Amino acid sequence: MGWSKAGGIPLQVKMLIGFLVGLLAGLAVNMTQPDAAWVGAVTTYVTGPIGQIFLRLLFMLVIPLLFSALVVGISEMGEVRSLRRIGLRTLAYTVIVSSIAVAISLVLVNLLQPGAGVDRALAETLLAESAGRAGEIVRTGTQQPSGIDAFISIIPNNLVEALGSNSAILSVMFFALFFGIGLLLTDTPGARTLLRGFEGLFDVSMRLILIVIRLAPIAVACFMFNLAALFGWDLLIRLSAFVGVVLLALGLQMFLVFPAILATVGRKSPLAFFRETQEAAVMAFSTASSNATLPTALRVADEQLGLPRRVSRFVLTIGATANQNGTAMFEGITVLFLAQFFGIDLTIGQQIMVMLVCILGGIGTAGVPAGSLPVVALILAMVGVQPEAIALVLGVDRFLDMCRTTLNVVGDLVAAQVISAGEPADPAPAPPMGGENGSSVAEAHPS
């Protein structure tokens, strides 16, 4: 993802400054006078309202952003009709590998419990206070359907009601996918006009998100002050555990799953693959942007891997927005970590729902600076965790963003290698009329 600059200072630097200011101020209060009356007044009338205004602005925009992104992202896959076999193989690969990524994330978070160990009484107190401030934004996990009801509830019976409920985000995404498929299959002037309308809605929503994100450094400072003043040093210990789990999950996908896929179905030596794709990996890590790395990835696929262009261009272009294992893993681990931190027990079904929303939420939103922020906040509200808890991870998000973007880009190249393994090579270009050396046919073949 790209990051805007204002006044010459990158946004991620401002967010880090806000994170550190709020954290240090909160820790100082926690160690010196945690029960002072002025602390309660500041959190109730200053830092709390500022944070809630920021969250409400995000929630106001996240539904139109996600809805339009999904509709446009699906409807623009019209190339699948001309490349049906490649498109179906890409879809199957994405589903299978994303499922593996989801399984790794679920196992690690539940096994290592990075969010466990904080003072449960403090967590419950903060949750109660947050529910009072946020009102309808924060839902309780017990209100979510479970079992077969959770599966059926994915299909909305009232779209307007689903759009007005943060807890029904999966239903909104289902309708957006369904509607996007309808636009993909409907080639009429009216349908094309409607698609342009959704493209405009996405552009406007993205522009407004960019404006709101500029307030993030102030909001992060307020969030971190509230959390650090209450939890103290437990906050830093749990945050370190979170970073470790994210890096472990990304590492397993990168250095265990991908090599296994390359060696078995990709018909490619993993060592040779990583050597030949290192330029794209370095570019992804340094820019933290899949879109910015796409030209480099296309060139690497062509010149280093020698993949058929018709395959690599299709797979890499679609993968830049749809095949985001790293983003899905990060967002899912973040939500489950914060649920553990605040003592929200999620069933395995609810955890799978969280992961599914994360995978779908990444489609079409890769180019939005801090695009995962509104998605994570909305999922937190869906499972009953206070959305301002995202401030816990924003201070380390830039580094983790670089790591997960690298996984996303390398994963796209792995997909291109796997899909190309079963495809014929591009036809060789016809030689020039004058022969290989530019001589005439008569000269090359004298009578």
Residue 204 lies inside a defined structural domain of this protein: yes
The highest-confidence range among 42-46, 137-141, 228-232, 256-260, by mean pLDDT, is 256-260
Residue 436 lies inside a defined structural domain of this protein: no
CA 358 centroid distance within chain: 6
pLDDT reading at 12 higher than 80? no
Residue 431 lies inside a defined structural domain of this protein: no
Average pLDDT over every residue of 156-184: 74
Which token pair is 274?
Answer: 């990583």
> Residue for token digits 């939005």?
368
**Could you give the CA distance from residue 410 to residue 249 in angstroms, rounded to a whole number?**
15
**What does each C-alpha distance from 83 to 91, 129, 179, 284 come to in angstroms?**
12, 54, 21, 28
**Could you give the CA distance from residue 100 to residue 258 in angstroms, rounded to a whole number?**
11
**Could you give the CA distance from residue 377 to residue 169 in angstroms, rounded to a whole number?**
12
Radius of gyration of the chain, Cα coordinates, nearest whole angstrom: 24
Which tens digit of pLDDT belongs to each residue from 194-244? 989 998 998 898 788 878 878 888 888 887 888 788 777 777 788 889 999
Which token pair is 212?
Answer: 């709101």
Residue 79, domain CATH? 1.10.3860
The highest-confidence range among 187-191, 220-224, 367-371, 395-399, by mean pLDDT, is 187-191
pLDDT reading at 249 higher than 90? yes
C-beta atoms surrounding 431 within 10 Å: 8
Q: What is the pLDDT of residue 273?
A: 95
Average pLDDT over every residue of 417-428: 74
Secondary structure class of 79 (helix, strand, coil): helix
The highest-confidence range among 24-38, 160-174, 415-429, by mean pLDDT, is 24-38
Residue 427 lies inside a defined structural domain of this protein: no
Average pLDDT over every residue of 167-173: 69
**Could you give the CA distance from residue 407 to residue 400 in angstroms, rounded to a whole number?**
11
Distant-in-sequence, close-in-space partners of 90: CB < 8 Å, separation ≥ 6: 314, 315, 318, 319, 323, 415, 419
Contact 400, 243 (CB under 8 A): yes
**Could you give the CA distance from residue 384 to residue 382 in angstroms, rounded to a whole number?**
6
pLDDT classification of 438: cutoffs 50, 70, 90: very low
pLDDT classification of 369: cutoffs 50, 70, 90: very low
Number of domains in the chain: 1
What predicted TM-score, i.e. pTM, was given to this entire model? Answer: 0.70
End-to-end C-alpha distance for the chain, whole angstroms: 64
Which tens digit of pLDDT belongs to each residue from 377-415? 778 877 877 777 777 787 677 788 889 889 999 999 999
C-beta atoms surrounding 83 within 10 Å: 17
Residue 64 carries which DSSP code? H
**Could you give the CA distance from residue 403 to residue 408 in angstroms, rounded to a whole number?**
9
pLDDT classification of 271: cutoffs 50, 70, 90: very high
**Could you give the CA distance from residue 210 to residue 33 in angstroms, rounded to a whole number?**
37
Residue 438 lies inside a defined structural domain of this protein: no
Q: Which residue range(s) make up the domain with 205? A: 5-422
**Could you give the CA distance from residue 50 to residue 62 in angstroms, rounded to a whole number?**
19
Average pLDDT over every residue of 54-60: 80
Q: What is the pLDDT of residue 37?
A: 79
